[in-house]
Amino acid sequence: MSDATAREQQVLDRIEQARRRPARVTDERITLAHGAGGKATHRLIEAVFLGAFRNPVLEALEDQAVITVGDQRLAFTTDSFVVSPLFFPGGDIGDLAVNGTVNDLAMSGARPLCLSAGFILEEGFPVADLERITASMAAAASNAGVQIVTGDTKVVERGKGDGCYINTAGVGVVERSVDLGAGKAQAGDAVVVSGPIGEHGITVMLARGELEIEADVQSDTAPLHALVDSLLDAAPGVHCLRDATRGGVATVLNEIATASHIAIALEEDRVPVRPAVSGACELLGLDPLYVACEGRFVAVVDGAQADAAVDALRAHPLGESAAVVGRVNADPEGLVLLRTAFGGTRIVDMLVGDPLPRIC
């Protein structure tokens, strides 16, 4: 073994040792990073929430729980939305809440059925804005084929909130004999992205008007269950689905690599990114791999079915730019590696910090 190879192996060994340490929260107080979907979020979930609520269903740490009731498999999920601003090009907090919950159900292969909607409103919030948000939610629910069947409303004092927060929960039925999960990836699988990444996060960031950057971008928020159905019809060898929201594609792939004890090798020049998003990321010093999407997912599928999977996705309007972006290897276990456009290789770690707070 050469000196360079030995040093590289030592680095990988140290990374693996760090990954296997028991999770603990070292901060004394919650920071924005704890809500970013990256390392801090995972430590908080594993050390605090999983530590308190541990059970076999929760331990899977999926975006939804799949439980059996009688002879039916049901998917159940919940999500909260605190996006700022409330209205942005391509969407608003209302359709974001519906689509985000529908998509969490879809990632288990479920057909979404119904949602709840809980509103936390700040005193002084314009009723016209609330009506605009609920109209958007109603339209999104109709488009997704679901109903909002129950809800709740709370009002906090002026200055104690941020206009409007929304919590949703959703129920769906898993009608296929699928068993999808982050721990199901296998060596030889292909990694597929359903479309261009980073659009939602960049759109929300620029909509705040704090940066003198203009870009022709809008949120990709959309319901994905019909696209998932097309994929599963064409490629029954799908092993894992994850929508790339907080933490972006990079964080999703790290979750899969860790849970499945495999390695993922990405090809940078295959990752679909629109020029406007790429340009904005370059100006802001961001990597598109870490920027949130709200209408894209990552699929890990049997390598022999990769072409069929991509063809099925591209036949749907929401998947027309789908691409195979990498492969699953047996090792180095737990790592995501990116072959750059210049021919080098670098480790793509899970998101650290919160470069884009309050994007969903």
Q: Where are the beta strands (DSSP E) in 108-225?
A: 111-122, 147-156, 164-174, 190-193
pLDDT of 18 over the 50 cut: no
pLDDT of 23 over the 90 cut: no
Beta carbons within 10 angstroms of residue 67's beta carbon: 12
138: Cβ–Cβ under 8 A, 6 or more apart, which residues?
148
Half-sphere exposure (CA, 13 Å, Cβ side) for 224?
32
pTM over 0.85: yes
343: Cβ–Cβ under 8 A, 6 or more apart, which residues?
none
- In the prediction, which pLDDT does 217 show? 95
- In the prediction, which pLDDT does 357 show? 87
Query: And the tokens for 62?
Result: 């999926």
pLDDT tens by residue, 215-258: 899 999 999 999 999 999 999 999 999 999 999 999 999 999 99
pLDDT tens by residue, 123-173: 999 999 999 999 999 999 999 999 999 999 999 999 999 999 999 999 999
Label residues 162-195 b or e (16+ Cβ within 10 Å = b). Answer: ebbbbbbbbbbebebebebbbbbbeeebbbbbbb
Half-sphere exposure (CA, 13 Å, Cβ side) for 3?
0
Residue 96: strand, helix, or coil: helix
Domains of the chain: 20-53 (no CATH), 62-174 (3.30.1330.10), 182-347 (3.90.650.10)
- In the prediction, which pLDDT does 13 show? 56
Query: And the tokens for 12?
Result: 């990988």
- In the prediction, which pLDDT does 2 show? 60
Question: Tokens 């990694």 map to which residue?
Answer: 191
Contact 262, 186 (CB under 8 A): yes
pLDDT category of residue 19 using cuts at 50, 70 and 90: very low
> C-alpha 284: how far from its chain's center?
21
pLDDT of 338 over the 80 cut: yes
Query: And the tokens for 316?
Result: 């749907």
Average pLDDT over residues 270-296: 96
What proportion of the chain, given as a percentage, has pLDDT over 70? 94
d(CA 82, CA 204): 12
- In the prediction, which pLDDT does 214 show? 83
